[in-house]
Amino acid sequence: MESLKVGICGLGTVGGGTFDVLTRNAEEIAARIGCRIQVSHIASRRAKPQYELSGLRFSEDVFAVCDDPDVDIVVELIGGTSLARELVSRAISRGKHVVTANKALIAEYGGQLFAEAVANKVTIAFEAAVAGGIPIIGALREGLAANRVHCLAGIINGTTNFILTEMRDKGRDFADVLKEAQALGYAEADPTFDIEGIDAAHKLVILASIAFGIPLQCDKVFNEGIGEIQPIDVHYASELGYNIKHLGLAVRRDQGVELRVHPTLVPKSQLIANVDGVMNAVLVKGDAVGATLYCGAGAGAEPTASSVIADIVHIARSVRNGRAPGVPHLGFANTQAANLPILPIEDIESSYYLRMSAEDKPGVLSQVCQVLSEAGISIEALVQREPQLNESQVPVILLTNIVRERDINSAIAKIHELESIHQQIVKIRLEALG
Ligand code: HSE
């Protein structure tokens, strides 16, 4: 049986997982393609790893893999965007196909890299860049190819989902859960990428680009992390029938596309609201298929390796059949959708959870309701707790109907001006996803 040669750059969590799965499942994978996948070269900038590497080349210089004539597919797993970008460009210029799990690289520089790949008649594949082991890119490109996608909503960062779940279920401390996520290999090298939503924004940009055929536009995503979420909000949300999830949302509207990452109240009756721990899930709504949900491990060595290897298999099948795998979603470039603008956050439409601290005296609630009513905002639910002994302020929690963000912001500013409302008003978006 012939073989196709793979060079792996980076032997961290995902690199190690990829090597392990390729070795363990070599027979099945070869049978599926009709040829063997042989790891011929591994490069790691750290010291030589513990793996049994006999029969293959090891380098500390990752560029040696791109220059190796005995490598057909370069797998970039070093992360970051400077060295990785150079590496991928070099591999492409040497006529190698590239597989990467690097969402930041694709989200920020995908446009240029795809053009380089097309010019060199190779492909660049990145299934592992979004939602770890869930084959969501394949699903959007192939399984859902018939559809006009209306919207997608995803739990696309395992670390934040893990943290929110542990905080909700076990009342654990944020920092303590984060440390565990890092030890388990879920979190990014710089975990602020997870916590502040940057990682999820990168993934959302990639998904939206494939789903709607729009260019990758990293700088236009609205992004809010989970740092401000208080246990009291998790508690009230739950009492009202919602779980708080850190969602990436891409919504296609007539006037443009909403691209936003933020904590979101999701009704517990929705399957996605019950996807907990490090698991990821992506809900996609297409005009033909309706609502579909894809769920699985969003991070970790072998789930991510599963997607890396899926790309290797896809490329290997094309190569064996004498076809260039190409860079598929570039076909959108001249469609009407490609020119849709990304809407500013003030123009998005959502329902809202508001929590405010009100003086416990007659008429306060009616003043708040009047401000909302004058703004044309309807209250869908309202909770006010009795004051505890010696408390002069009480929490008031409201859920609104769907309104434009600029309208809720101006209503919040007016509520702030009321003398009986103290402290900041907490605002969390709510999506019924129905
Ligand atoms: N840090 C990422 C996460 C890893 O937590 O989801 C997978 O991209």
Mean pLDDT of 366-392: 90
- Does 344 reside within a domain? no
- With a 6 Å cutoff on the Cβ, whether 188 touches ligand 1 is yes
Average pLDDT value over all residues in the chain: 93
Whether 155 contacts 245, CB under 8 Å: yes
- With a 6 Å cutoff on the Cβ, whether 132 touches ligand 1 is yes
200 or 191, higher pLDDT: 200
- How far apart CA 180 and CA 127 sit, in angstroms, is 26
Q: In this structure, are 144 and 233 located in the same domain?
A: yes
Residue 328: what pLDDT? 65
Read off the CATH number of the domain in which 415 is found. 3.30.70.260
Residue 218: what pLDDT? 94
What's the sign of the alpha-carbon dihedral 38, 10, 325, 208?
Answer: positive
In this predicted structure, the answer to whether residue 189 has a pLDDT above a threshold of 90 is no
Full strand arrangement of the beta sheet holding 36-43: 57-59, 36-43, 3-9, 73-76, 97-100, 124-125
The torsion defined by the Cα of 165, 168, 173 and 179, in degrees rounded to 10, comes to 0
Whole-prediction pTM: 0.94
Residue nearest to atom 4 of ligand 1 (CA): 299
Mean pLDDT of 115-120: 93
Q: In this structure, are 367 and 224 located in the same domain?
A: no
- How far apart CA 219 and CA 79 sit, in angstroms, is 20
Tens-place pLDDT, residues 217-230: 999 999 999 988 98
Residue-wise DSSP of 303-314: HHHHHHHHHHHH
- How far apart CA 398 and CA 327 sit, in angstroms, is 47
| 203 noted as active-site residue | yes
Whether 279 contacts 131, CB under 8 Å: no
- With a 6 Å cutoff on the Cβ, whether 225 touches ligand 1 is no
Report the nearest atom of ligand 1 relative to the CA of 162.
5
Q: In this structure, are 36 and 53 located in the same domain?
A: yes
In this predicted structure, the answer to whether residue 182 has a pLDDT above a threshold of 80 is yes
Query: What domain count does the chain have?
Result: 3
- With a 6 Å cutoff on the Cβ, whether 282 touches ligand 1 is no
330 — pLDDT class (breaks 50, 70, 90): low
Residue 332: what pLDDT? 62
Q: In this structure, are 73 and 20 located in the same domain?
A: yes
Q: In this structure, are 66 and 205 located in the same domain?
A: no
Q: In this structure, are 59 and 117 located in the same domain?
A: yes
Domain that holds residue 8: 3-132+301-320
- Longest C-alpha distance within the chain, in Å? 83
In this predicted structure, the answer to whether residue 255 has a pLDDT above a threshold of 80 is yes
Report the nearest atom of ligand 1 relative to the CA of 194.
1
Read off the CATH number of the domain in which 214 is found. 3.30.360.10
Residue-wise DSSP of 149-169: EEEEEEE--HHHHHHHHHHHH
Read off the CATH number of the domain in which 72 is found. 3.40.50.720
Percent of the chain with pLDDT over 90: 81
- Does 331 reside within a domain? no
Residue-wise DSSP of 18-49: HHHHHHHTHHHHHHHHTSEEEEEEEE-SSS--
- Does 102 reside within a domain? yes
Residue-wise DSSP of 355-370: EEEEESSTTHHHHHHH
For a mutational test of ligand 1's pocket, the pick from 186, 190, 202, 282, i.e. the residue with the most ligand atoms closer than 8 A to its C-beta, is 186
- Does 330 reside within a domain? no
- How far apart CA 93 and CA 231 sit, in angstroms, is 51
Residue 172: what pLDDT? 85
Residue 49: what pLDDT? 67
Distance 379 CA to ligand 1 centre (A): 36
Tens-place pLDDT, residues 94-108: 999 999 999 999 999
The torsion defined by the Cα of 233, 234, 235 and 237, in degrees rounded to 10, comes to 80
SS3 content of the chain, % helix, strand, coil (to 5): 40, 25, 30
- With a 6 Å cutoff on the Cβ, whether 17 touches ligand 1 is no
Q: In this structure, are 220 and 77 located in the same domain?
A: no
Whether 100 contacts 107, CB under 8 Å: no
Q: In this structure, are 290 and 305 located in the same domain?
A: no
Report the nearest atom of ligand 1 relative to the CA of 103.
8
Tens-place pLDDT, residues 5-53: 999 999 998 999 999 999 999 999 999 999 999 999 999 987 666 666 7
- Does 340 reside within a domain? no
Q: In this structure, are 120 and 180 located in the same domain?
A: no
In this predicted structure, the answer to whether residue 209 has a pLDDT above a threshold of 80 is yes
Residues in Cβ contact with 213 at an 8 Å cutoff, skipping those fewer than 6 apart:
329, 331, 332, 333, 335, 337, 338
Distance 192 CA to ligand 1 centre (A): 11
- Does 44 reside within a domain? yes
Q: In this structure, are 194 and 172 located in the same domain?
A: yes
For a mutational test of ligand 1's pocket, the pick from 127, 195, 199, 247, i.e. the residue with the most ligand atoms closer than 8 A to its C-beta, is 199
Residue-wise DSSP of 96-117: -EEEE--HHHHHHHHHHHHHHH
Element (H, E) at 206: helix 198-212
Mean pLDDT of 351-357: 97
Residue 48: what pLDDT? 65
Per-residue tokens: 430: 């709510």
In this predicted structure, the answer to whether residue 77 has a pLDDT above a threshold of 70 is yes
Q: In this structure, are 279 and 142 located in the same domain?
A: yes
In this predicted structure, the answer to whether residue 327 has a pLDDT above a threshold of 80 is no
Of the candidates 5, 203, 245, 285, the residue annotated as catalytic is 203
Tens-place pLDDT, residues 119-152: 999 999 999 999 999 999 999 999 999 999 999 9
* Chain centre to alpha carbon of residue 260: 11
Report the nearest atom of ligand 1 relative to the CA of 187.
1
Q: In this structure, are 155 and 267 located in the same domain?
A: yes
- With a 6 Å cutoff on the Cβ, whether 158 touches ligand 1 is yes
- Does 336 reside within a domain? no
Which of 239, 264, 298 marks a domain boundary? 298
